[in-house]
Amino acid sequence: MAKALHDVSIAEAGAMLRSGSVTSMALTEHALDRIRSVDPLISSFITVTKESALADAAAADAAFAKGIDKGPMQGIPHALKDIYGTAGIRTTCHSKLLLDNIPKEDSVVAAKFKAQGAVMLGKLATHEFALGGPSFDLPFPPARNPWNPDCIPGGSSSGSGAAVAAGLVRMAMGSDTGGSIRGPAGYCGTIGLKPTYGLVSRRGVFPLSYTLDHCGPLSWTVEDSAIAMEVIAGFDPLDPASADVAVPDFRGKLGKGVQGLRLGLPRGWFVNADGASAETLKAIDDAAQTLAKLGATIEEIELPDYELYNACGRVIMFSEAYAIHEKDFQTRPQDYGLYTYLRMTMGAFVSATDLTQAMRLRRELAQAVNAKLKGCDALITASTLAPAPAFSEADPNSPPNFPIQTMPFDVTGNPAMSIPTGFSASGLPLSMQIVGRAFDEPTVLGIGAAFEAATKLPERRPSFAVAKAA
C-alpha cells in the first residue's frame, strides 16, 4: 500500500518532486489540510502562513518546471519554532512581551531555507522564551503530545516535536540550550539533532543563553535531519559563536552501518537516576544490544557526576538569560508567565564568583567527555528518562523538572541526537541519545540511521485515538 503523503520523508518527497509524481503545491495543500484537521488537538502552531506557503509552493513548482534545482529542501514544507526571526511574519517567542514583534529580517536559518526554495508553513509553539513552560498563562496554549494529548510534548521546542510526530511537517527547526530539541524529540518519538556548538548560525534567533544556545532540526527520519543540516550548517562571520570549519558530509555515513565502531555507555549517569523508568532503562539496554548485533562494540564508561553537568549548565543559563531580560524583569515582571518568571529570576541571584566557578567547571566537564571520545567513536546514553508525563503532573505554582539528561552536551558543545528506542506499555515513545566528537555529526547520524533501519520505529505514527475518544 502506498504511503500517505504526510508519511513520505523529505528524501522520498524530493525524489517524487524531481520525477514529477508529486508537486510542491500538492505537498503543501495536504500539509495545510492536515494542520486544519489535526492541530486543534495538539496546538503545535502559533501562526500558519497559508498564503505565503502556497506562493512558495507555486514558486518551487515553477522552478522545477524550468529545470532549476536549488537543493534538497526545494518545494518541501517545513516550520520554525517561534523564536526564529521571520521577515514580515510575527515572531512571538510564545510571550505577551513580543505579541506584536514583526522582524524586518529573516534569521539566517530561515533565510537559508528560503534561498533553497523551501515552503515555510508557519511558526510553532515553544515554552516562553524557550524556557518557561508548559504553561497555561501565556497568550497561546501549550502544545500537546500527539501520542496522548493529555501529556506534555516536552520543551522548549514543544510545537516542533508535536508537529513532526503528528505528520504536519517532515522537519521543524528547534533550539537546544539545556535539551530543548532532544527533550521534545524524546517525548514525541522523533529524531532531534543538537549540532556541535558553532556549526549552525544563531543569528536572528531570540537568545536564551549565549554560550549554550544551539539551533537544530527535529524530523521523522534520521536522513531528513541530515538533509536539513546540509541546508543550515556553515560559518557565519556575524554570529560570534560561529565556527569557521569545513562543513561535514551529513549523509556521508548513512547506510554504512556500525561495524567496528566503539560506543561508550555512561550507564552510571542514568541507571539509578531519580525518575528513570524501568521501561526506558530496558529500552536503552536493548538498543545497545541491537547496535552490538550490528557490529559495534559497547563499552561502559565513567564520566563525572551527572549533577555537575546539570548544575553547571543551569547556573550559566540562568545568568545569561537574566542578563538578556534584566530590564524587562525590573520594569514589567508581571508580563512573564509564572514558570518563566520563577526560572529566569534565579539569574539575578547568581554571583560573579558562582558564574566563574561554573565556567571553570565547564572546561573540566568538556575535557572529561572529549577524553572519553578519544577512545570511543561515539557515546550512547539516556535522553528522556521516562515517558512523557501528563500535564496534570506539573505543579502549577512551581516549574517542573521532569527527568531528562540532555544538559551535558549543551555544556560541552558536542553533537547529540535523540532517537526513539521503542514504546512504553502506555503507548508513549522512549528514547536515547547518540553523542559524537565535535563536528562529527556524520558518525552520529550514521549510527542513528543504522539503528533506525534495524528497528523500523518510524513506521508507527500517533493514531490520535485517545484525543478523538475524549
Partner 1 sequence: MADSSTDDPALAAEFDILAKRAGLPILAGRRPALLQNYKDLKRMTALMRQPRTAAAEPAGAYSILSVTRSV
Can you give the binding site for partner 1, defined by CB under 8 A?
A: 196-198, 211, 241, 243, 245, 307-308, 310-312, 314-315, 318, 329-330, 333-334, 338, 341-343, 345-346, 348-351, 354, 356-364, 366-367, 370-371, 374, 395, 397-399, 412-414, 437-439
Tell me how far, at minimum, the Cβ of 357 lies from partner 1, in Å.
5
For residues 161 and 152, give the distance between their C-alpha atoms in angstroms, rounded to a whole number. 10
Tell me how far, at minimum, the Cβ of 266 lies from partner 1, in Å.
16
- Nearer to partner 1 by Cβ, of 47 and 211: the residue is 211
- Nearer to partner 1 by Cβ, of 98 and 358: the residue is 358
Helix, strand, or coil (residue 250): coil
Instruction: Single out the catalytic residue among 95, 135, 180, 225.
Output: 180
Tell me how far, at minimum, the Cβ of 426 lies from partner 1, in Å.
29
Residues 158, 126 contacting (CB under 8 angstroms): yes
253 is catalytic: no
The closest of 228, 160, 150, 46 to 464, measured between CA atoms, is: 150
For residues 241 and 205, give the distance between their C-alpha atoms in angstroms, rounded to a whole number. 13
Tell me how far, at minimum, the Cβ of 388 lies from partner 1, in Å.
23
The continuous run of DSSP H or E covering 378 comes out as: strand 378-382
For residues 281 and 289, give the distance between their C-alpha atoms in angstroms, rounded to a whole number. 13
Q: Which three cell numbers stand for residue 457?
A: 520505529
Alpha helices in 376-440 (DSSP H): 408-412
Following CA atoms 114, 116, 119, 124 in sequence, which dihedral angle do they give, to the nearest 10 degrees? -60
21 is catalytic: no
Instruction: Single out the catalytic residue among 9, 43, 44, 81.
Output: 81
Torsion sign across C-alpha atoms 273, 279, 284, 289: positive
Residues 303, 339 contacting (CB under 8 angstroms): no
- Nearer to partner 1 by Cβ, of 15 and 342: the residue is 342
Instruction: Single out the catalytic residue among 9, 43, 156, 383.
Output: 156
- Nearer to partner 1 by Cβ, of 262 and 360: the residue is 360
Tell me how far, at minimum, the Cβ of 257 lies from partner 1, in Å.
26
180 is catalytic: yes
For residues 329 and 350, give the distance between their C-alpha atoms in angstroms, rounded to a whole number. 15
Give the active site residues: 81, 156, 180
